[in-house]
Amino acid sequence: MIKDYKGYSARVTIDQDQGLLHGEVVGIVDVVTFQGKTVEELTRAFRDSVDDYLAYCNERGKKPERPYSGRFVLRVPPELHRRIASAAGKAGVSMNEWVTAVLDAACQAPSEALSSSDRR
């Protein structure tokens, strides 16, 4: 993973057949990709791609997407808070780890996680 150039990070894969490193900026919906043959070339291409993306957005008067921080505030009823703490304790993990796992599972099967009869 290439980290933090102007707040953006990227995931890198290797294409052994072509001898190339491919990267994609993560944490945004817009697609920003780049490639290089060496780590230095890839890093330079990453920075150039981020700069190009920001310039592209600026030219069109579009606000560039910013990566998600991974933090958000969630307010729950006290009884649910107690049940979450209990479930996390039984699983031997922190509440943060437990909630993260539950939310990830819900995203994998969203229609099962919240049926229309459960919505309030």
Q: Which of 14, 25, 63 is nearest to 47 (CA)?
A: 25
| Secondary-structure breakdown of the chain: helix, strand, coil percentages, each rounded to the nearest 5 | 45, 20, 35
Give pLDDT tens digits along the chain (120 positions).
677 899 999 999 999 999 999 999 998 999 999 999 999 999 999 999 999 999 999 999 999 999 877 788 899 999 999 999 999 999 999 999 999 999 988 888 766 656 544 544
pLDDT on residue 119 = 47
Q: Is 6 helix (H, G, I), strand (E, B) or coil?
A: coil
pLDDT on residue 92 = 95
pLDDT on residue 58 = 96
pLDDT on residue 106 = 87
Whether residue 25 contacts residue 32, with contact meaning beta carbons closer than 8 Å, is answered with yes
The structure's pTM equals 0.61
CATH of domain 2-59: 3.30.160
pLDDT on residue 68 = 78
